[in-house]
Structure formats: C-alpha cells, structure tokens
C-alpha cells in the first residue's frame, strides 16, 4: 500500500455548513500553524484539520496488460 500524503488546512465551522476552509492546504505543520494564527484574528473559532490522501493502488497482477 502506498504511503499516505498528509496536508494541513485551517478550517472553521459555520452554522449550516461544517468544515468551511479559511485558506490553503499546507504540507508542513509549521506553515499551517502560522496561517492559523493569522486566521484566528478574524475567526477565533478556527482550528487546524489534518487532511490525509491515500493513493489507490491497483492489483499488481494486472500490470502490463
């Protein structure tokens, strides 16, 4: 199985629409924490979400067909 790719994103919960993104996804935790500090000036309820992507891998027996 392939290694998952992890990104971090600053999000907030809006009534009627949970998980509203406040910015861009960042691959480093340090950059995401800096972005969170800036977002909390406008949205004090903002938090950091870990987004994990796992690559779908097909069966190796079908390789080369």
pLDDT higher for 55 or 40?
A: 40
What is the four-CA torsion angle of 6, 12, 14, 19, rounded to 10 degrees? 10
> What are the residue boundaries of the structural domains of the chain, listed by start?
5-58
Q: Using alpha carbons only, what angle is made at residue 63 by residues 61 and 65, rounded to the nearest 5 degrees? A: 105
pLDDT band at 23 (very low <50, low <70, confident <90, very high): confident
* Tens digit of each residue's pLDDT (9 = 90 or more) over 26-38: 999 999 999 999 9
pLDDT at 59: 63
Is 80 exceeded by the pLDDT of residue 41? yes
Contact 18/49 with Cβ under 8 angstroms? Answer: no
DSSP per residue over 34-52, as a string?
Answer: HHHHHHHHH-TT-EEEEEE
> Is the whole model's pTM more than 0.95, yes or no?
no
């Amino acid at each position: 199985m392939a290694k998952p790719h992890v990104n971090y994103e600053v999000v907030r919960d809006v009534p009627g629409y949970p998980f509203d993104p406040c910015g861009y996804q960042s691959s480093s935790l340090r950059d995401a924490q800096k972005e969170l500090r800036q977002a909390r000036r406008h949205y004090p309820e903002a938090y950091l979400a870990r987004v994990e992507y796992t690559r779908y891998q097909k069966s190796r027996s079908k390789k080369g067909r």
